[in-house]
Structure 1
Amino acid sequence: MIVLFSLAAVRAQNLELATEYYNQGEFEKAVELYEKLSRKKENSRAIHENYFNALVRLKSFDEAESYLKAEIKDFPELIIYKADLAYLYELSDQTERAEEAYQDLIEEASSKDAYVYQLQNFFYRTNKMNTLIEMLLKSRERSKSVDKHNIQLARAYLYAGKKKEMLEEVFSYGISHPQSDYVQRTIQDNIKDEAEIEMLQKLLYTKIQLNPELVYYNEILIWHFIQLGEFGRAFTQERALDRRLGLGGVKVYELANLAYKNNQYRDAARMYQYVLNEYPEADYYAYARRLNIQCREEIIKNTFPLSREDIIGLIEQYESLLQDLGKTTKTMDALRNMALLHGFYLDDHDKAISILEDAIANAGSNFNFKDQCKLDLGDIYILKDEPWEATLLYMQVEKSQKEDHLAEIAKLKNAKMYYYTGEFELSKEVLDILKKATTREIANDAMHLSLLIQDNLGLDTTEAAMRAYAGVDLLLFQNKNTEALHQLDSLFELYKSHSLADEILWLRGKTHYRLDHINQALYDFNAIVENYKFDILADDSLYMLAKIYDQNLGDKNKAMELYRQILSDFPGSIYGSEARKKYRELRGDFVF
């Protein structure tokens, strides 16, 4: 027993020493020890990889071949030794023997799944993707299972740079495993550039044409378009499924809601109009009708210069909705929309307050709706230059809603109120809490305003620049655009060397745009791109330039150039998805 223990100790010591030599690149010393250890079968697995690699490093190909053949004789069930032998022939430029050995390997492995799985890592390690693919396909052929090894083949095709073939395997897997998110994850991770996206779309369209009975490909294409923010193209597919399968418009309505949440109001309006026309008896009809008007409202409010007639037309549409369907939980939000249009765009503050107070009085036990109306009332009081009334209403909602989403909105409004009135420290204190808000939009707004205050507070002893800037921000909130523009001109002259200079230019550019002063807007946005290219507003300004050339000036080529510049110069920009979509629209890629 003592002798056996001593032999085991020596064996372990030699193995440790051989490994140390190997790791230090002293391959001759390592080989000497490994050769002795290889004489015992029980050492085989422990030494194989290092021993074989050391022999290869020393170009001791004959010795390596003898070693491997001995291992194959002793362990015929371990196919990895045969794989290493084929690889050895390849490394020693014995091309014909290597090819024959690989074919024998494929033939043997394809008959036994355990061998297939054993050899996968070997082929990845030796970068022999085509051989791996051949083995997997041979195994599939022998099994007579058309979807066998889908995932393994998809990965192999990916590493071989054959993404179309990868997608074929991915889709095959998805059809047999419809509940899995593997397909979506693979597309998101590996289909990135324009050429790959185009290839994916063409492949899906072909699949849809060849397999009209399978809705799976339509669903993947819809999902893909949603990821790209191309809701109009998603609608085309969803509408086709709705008509073919008789889905009652539900999926189109849900897609419309998603487009609305993503600020794609024109696409959302088309979808809402579709379900209104096709399904006037649907349960969601009242919601769809109201949201359709809201889409038009957002489009009108963001089309400059604003048309008073269009605003009045929106109010009439909301009134018609309430008259046709009554004041119910499905339509009550129309009252809020009407009130805000009266207050912000027709300067009829008293009418706005009257509508909101009536809405609160008739809301019954719908406390969320009441609190939303109170937030709107607070905004109207800001328009009336009664900030303390506004603050009181915001605080009521904070107390009523506590930790709810509406409480966070109320806190943000109060923080902005403090900012407008020059109470910057108090504003920042609230904003810093809201950076952790549950809603990303609120957290982002809080972060932006907090940084604006932090970066510019106290840079002059009187805080004059920050106070003046906040005052202009308030005028813009109140839609007093002409007055704000005059003050912005003065501000820029006074503070063109101040850290607020780019922020002033940004506000001035946006205000010129709202007032349809296109050339002046171009000047300010260009000034930001040229002089503040590394600051936070550079991509915002570049997007506004692209938008103006696209929508206002009709200069397609210039707009495409600017959209492409956003993608190349600001790859992480929040405008990336929209810029890509607009670029492709202008290039003529889309057919709806």
Structure 2
Amino acid sequence: MRVLYIICFLFTLGGVAQNDAIAKDYYNNGDFEKALHEYKKLYAQSPLNIPYITKIVSTYQQLEQYDQAEMFLLSIMERLNYPAFFVELGYNFQLKNDLDKANDYYNKALQSIENNPNHVFGIARTFQIHTLLDQAIQSYTKAKALKPEFNFDLQLAQLYGEQGNIERMFISYVDYTLSNPVALNTIKRAINNFITEESTNENNILFRKILLRKIQEEPNVLWNRLLSWLFIQQKDFKKAFIQEKAIFNREEGGLSGLEELALIALNDGQDIIALDIFTFLIDTAQDIDTQLSAYYNTMLIKTKLASKTDYEGINEQYLKIFELYGKLPQTLGIQISYAHFLAFYMDDPKQATEVLEAALELPLTPLEKAEVKLELGDILLLQEKFNKALIYYSQIQRNLKNSTISQEARFKVAKASYYKGDFKWAEAQLKILKSSTSQLIANDALDLKLLISDNKYEDSTQTALKLYAKADLLAFQNKKESAIAILDKILKAHKTEPIIAQALYKQGELFEEKSQYEKAVANYELVIDNYRDGILMDDALFRLANIYLKQFNEAEKAKLLLEQIIFHHADSIYFVEARKLYRTLRGDAIN
């Protein structure tokens, strides 16, 4: 008997859920007569169900049957004490343009809060549903005054936001953060809808002033966290650094915020401030892991910013790090970066190889050994010892099958084959990599495969493609001037071939790396003007927009280029970033 009861109950429950879905579909599709019929059936089964009652009222109103809605509500209120129905009744009179009666019922709803502050939840929510924002705010304010333990800062912030009262909204969000610090990230996401990357934006200025006032009136590390976050959104990493140092000094530890800030600045190309933060971490951190991570990034930045006259000094700094910490598994990342520096910048592949071979003697994990062998392979590629490089790459593929580093090694196998002109074998490897689990490797593999397939059939001797591969190898070898010179040969001798667009684009990238931005602009503009249907069109538009924005401070020119990506290249990998950047330049609030 009990089993039969359970089966009947579940069957009934399933039927109700199905009918509810049918009613919702009718309502959402504007078929209100049928929706009303279905909701009445549901109400008959659950006469205390508030959502069904409100849906019946709403459906009557959609049908402009206001008297029926009123009669239905009054009959419900005779047997059900739910003061939010005062709001529903008032709103029904408002729809009938009887504002006096509407306000009478709204006041009755507010009065019921004075009688019992717990009624605020249904009343305020119902006011908000009907966009009666002033009354909703009044409800929460009244209940909080009567029962101070209530906290409606979050609800009030949302209401102020809907009203466009940005200052009150910010204050409510900030107050809520103080009482609920765990909600900090949620509040950041909410506030992010109302600020931009522009420090001069009115809302940004307002939010900054509120936080600075809070710091003066009631110092709390939360305000520093929010200020730091605001400055990061504005890409003002120097000011964020000041706030993160203040947080560190107040909390006596906790460098995670500074580490995160340093990496954000580094990824954004703000090398100088990133270097300052990493240096602070080196000087301040007590644990070795944080120090070594900071040293690793510091040396990468210094190498990137250095001229040849600085190389000897960088070499000495590497040696000092090894004096301090030794050549142990913990310093493996720095050992690999040092070997790369020796080979690619100091032109000493022999010593670089010795550093890495010594590292292989350390007690390393299989993944760590693979990282060393990957760099050894790269150094052999640098010396154009292709077959020896392939041995290391193949070992990685064999020992760590299906891993990301194994896929990276396969890509390097393809690259090595491409560099030495074995395009058929390179294509075979790249075809496999198109489905790589690493999106970055998959994209790079597809780009290289398209380069080969688009150009290998134009000339039976593949002269231009071989020249381009040579230029690509020279760029990999950090011989930018030689690479640019070979690309010039292609541009002069192969003017009618499709590889010209690729040569112009590659040369533009190299010009950028050498900070020769005027030359880069000329190349990208040639790609845009002459190869509008080519696969490099969106790449050239995006790189050119960034040069105009970051190097020449010409926002209007950047906007025009970003517009072309947004309106004509919706499938571009740059589409999302271009749209966000465009909205920022236009002054929109970015979600």
TM-score, normalised with respect to structure 2: 0.76
Select which of 218, 222, 225 maps to 1:216.
Answer: 222
1:273, CA displacement in angstroms? Answer: 1.7
Preserved contact between residue 524 and residue 541 of structure 2 (Cα < 8 Å): yes
1:204 matches 2:211: yes
Q: How far is the alpha carbon of 1:397 from its aligned partner?
A: 2.1
Equivalent residue for 1:267?
273
The answer to whether the 8 A contact 2:282-2:290 is kept is no
**Hey, what does 1:13 align to over in structure 2?**
none
Change in 2 beyond 3 A, CA 1:189/1:423: farther
Match of 1:85 among 82, 89, 92: 89
Q: Which residue of 2 aligns with 1:9?
A: none
Q: Cα deviation per residue 1:72-93 (whole Å; 9 max; x = unaligned)?
A: 3x23513354223212322232
- Match for residue 590 of structure 1? none
1:473 to 2:472 alignment:
yes
Residue 185 to residue 320, structure 1, CA distance change in 2 (3 Å): same
Are residues 158 and 22 of structure 1, via their aligned partners in 2, closer, same or farther at CA, if it must alter by over 3 Å? closer
1: CA distance, partners of 2:138 / 2:405: 59
Question: In the alignment, which residue of structure 2 is the partner of 1:295?
Answer: 301
State the superposition RMSD in angstroms: 4.7
Alignment of 1:314-325 (within 5 A): 314-325=314-325
Distance 1:329 1:355 in 2: 13
Instruction: Name whichever of 327-336 and 279-288 sits farther off.
Output: 279-288
- Aligned residue in 2 for 1:138: 142
Between stretches 372-381 and 113-122, larger displacement belongs to: 113-122
Give the Cα–Cα distance (whole angstroms) in 2 for the partners of residues 33 and 268 of structure 1. 63
**Aligned partners of 1:506, 1:562: CA distance in 2, in Å?**
19
> What does 1:419-568 correspond to in 2, within 5 Å?
419-424=418-423, 426-431=425-430, 433-434=432-433, 437=436, 439=438, 441-453=440-452, 458=457, 466-493=465-492, 499-514=498-513, 517-532=516-531, 537=536, 540-541=539-540, 544-545=543-544, 555-556=552-553, 558=554, 560-565=555-560
Contact 2:524 2:544 in 1 (8 A): yes
Offset at residue 391 of structure 1 (A): 0.9
Distance 2:575 2:455 in 1: 24
Contact map agreement 1:230 1:581 (CA 8 A) in 2: no
Instruction: Compare relative contact order (CA 8 Å, sep 6+) and give the higher one, 1 or 2.
Output: 2
**Structure 1 position 519, deviation (Å):** 3.9
In structure 1, distance between residues paired with 2:189 and 2:295: 35
Q: How does 1:205-284 map to 2 (within 5 A)?
A: 205-212=212-219, 214-226=220-232, 230-247=236-253, 249=255, 251-253=257-259, 255-257=261-263, 259-260=265-266, 264-278=270-284, 284=290
Partner of residue 154, structure 1 = 157
Change (3 A) 1:155 1:453: farther
**What code does the residue aligned with 2:336 have?**
R
Is the alpha carbon distance of 1:123 and 1:249 closer, same or farther for their aligned partners in structure 2, counting shifts above 3 Å?
closer
Amino acid at match of 2:385: E
Question: Deviation of residue 215 (structure 1)?
Answer: 1.1
- Count of paired positions: 554
For the structure 1 residues 464 and 111, does the alpha-carbon distance in structure 2 shift closer, same or farther, using more than 3 Å as the test? Answer: farther
CA separation in 2, counterparts of 1:493 and 1:516?
24
After TM superposition, the score normalised by the length of structure 1 is: 0.76
1:407 aligns with 2:411: no
Indicate which of 97, 104, 108 corresponds to 2:101. 97
> Structure 2 vs 1, CA of residues 248 and 219 (structure 1 numbering), >3 Å: closer, same or farther?
closer
Aligned to 2:308: 308
Q: Of 172, 176, 188, which aligns to 1:173? A: 176
AA of the residue aligned to 1:383: L
Give yes or no for contact 2:335–2:355 (8 Å, CA) kept in 1.
Answer: yes
Distance of 1:444 and 1:525 partners within structure 2: 21
What is the CA distance between 1:574 and its match in structure 2? 7.6
Contact 2:563/2:582 (8 A) holds in 1: no
Decide whether the 8 Å contact of 2:565 with 2:575 is kept in 1: yes
Question: 1:322 & 1:208 partners in 2: Cα distance?
Answer: 43
Q: For the structure 1 residues 487 and 239, does the alpha-carbon distance in structure 2 shift closer, same or farther, using more than 3 Å as the test?
A: same
Provide closer, same or farther for how the CA distance between residues 144 and 528 of structure 1 changes in structure 2, counting only shifts above 3 A.
same
Residue aligned with 1:78, SS? coil
What's 2:337 paired with? 337
Deviations 1:31-79 (A, max 9, x none): 99999xx99x96998996677567656766566655544543x235133
Which whole-Å CA distance do the structure 2 matches of 1:101 and 1:460 have between them?
85
Q: Is the 8 A contact 1:408 1:437 kept in 2?
A: yes
Cα-to-partner distance string for 1:329-352 (whole Å, 9 max, x where unaligned): 344444433332232234333333
| Counterpart residue identity of residue 174, structure 2 | F
Change (3 A) 1:88 1:543: closer
Q: Secondary structure at the match of 2:105?
A: helix
| Deviations 1:135-190, CA, capped at 9 Å, x for gaps | 22222222113x52334333333333344433433333333333344223434556
What is the DSSP-based 3-state SS (H/G/I as helix, E as strand, rest coil) of the residue aligned with 1:93? coil
Contact 2:411 2:433 in 1 (8 A): yes
Pick closer, same or farther for the CA change 1:314–1:136 going to 2, 3 Å: same
- 2 CA distance for matches of 1:224 and 1:474? 43
Contact 1:543 1:579 in 2 (8 A): no
Q: CA deviation at 1:30?
A: 11
In 2: Cα distance, 1:165 partner to 1:255 partner? 29
Query: Would you say the 8 A contact 2:549–2:558 is kept in 1?
Result: no
Q: What amino acid is aligned across from residue 210 of structure 1 in structure 2?
A: E
Match of 2:127 in 1: 123
Residue in 1 that maps onto 2:569: none
Residue 390 of structure 1 and its aligned partner are, at CA, apart by 0.9
Matched position secondary structure for 2:81: coil
Q: Which SS does the other structure have where 1:179 is aligned?
A: helix
CA distance in 2, matches of 1:411, 1:126: 60
CA deviation profile, 1:502-536 (whole Å, cap 9, x unmatched)? 32211122233445655433311232344456766
Cα distance in 2 for residues equivalent to 1:22 and 1:483: 66
> Taking structure 1 as reference, are residues 496 and 133 closer, same or farther at Cα in structure 2, changes over 3 Å only?
farther
Q: Once the 2 structures are TM-superposed, how far is the Cα of residue 270 of structure 1 from its aligned partner?
A: 0.3
Question: Any stretches of 5+ residues in structure 1 without a counterpart?
Answer: 1-15, 301-306, 588-592
Larger mean Cα displacement after TM superposition, 369-378 or 224-233: 224-233
8 Å contact kept, 2:408–2:441: yes
Name 1:382's counterpart in structure 2.
381
- State how far apart, in whole Å, the 1-side matches of 2:366 and 2:225 are: 39
Within a 5 Å distance, the mapping from 1:355-366 to structure 2 comes to 355-361=355-361, 363-365=362-364
| Aligned AA (2:159) | A
Judge which range, 322-331 or 48-57, deviates more.
Answer: 48-57
Gaps of 5+ in 2: 1-21, 567-573
Preserved contact between residue 329 and residue 363 of structure 2 (Cα < 8 Å): no
Which segment drifts farther, 570-579 or 430-439? 570-579
